[in-house]
Amino acid sequence: MSKSADHDPRRPTGAPTTAPAAGPIGTDQWDQPWETYHSEEVRPYAITGGRTRPQHSMRLVTLLEAADSPPVRGLAPEAVRAVELCRAQPCPVAEIAARLSLPVQAAKVVLSDLIDCGALVMAVPRHPAASDRLQVLEALRSGLETKLSHVA
């Protein structure tokens, strides 16, 4: 099989196969702006600074909430948006990643950084108090008594 002279495995798909013609200084001879070539692959890398692992362990269902007065000055736009999403109510990692249009792993790195700077905290699930449990058990007993009283 002979390969085309224009084929170069290192060249991004869709990239021009020839160098642009020489033109006046300040003119761009490429057929597309450089931002369109695989920018969706570069963006998460740039947002996380090349990091692929978060400092904090998080699952897709881990709930995060904004701190009482989160520091948002100097944060990247994605980080500010993540804090805004968590202000009203705790938000799961998967939803934050989806709303930021980021891969989950990249979102976890951003969220981990926000935990480190004190802007976000992992929401601790509220365990029902003993009185709540007692009320549930009493309601269950009452319901069973009502249901079973018709059977007997």
User: pLDDT, tens digit, for every residue of 115-138?
Assistant: 999 999 998 776 766 677 888 888
- Does 2 score more than 50 pLDDT? no
Predicted TM-score (pTM) of this structure: 0.57
State CA 7 to chain mean position distance: 36
What pLDDT was estimated at residue 29? 52
Q: What is the pLDDT of residues 66-93, one digit of tens each?
A: 998 888 888 888 999 999 999 989 999 9
Look-up of token digits 């033109």: 23
Residues in Cβ contact with 31 at an 8 Å cutoff, skipping those fewer than 6 apart: 16
The total number of residues written for the chain in this structure: 152
**What are the structural domains of the chain?**
55-124 (1.10.10)
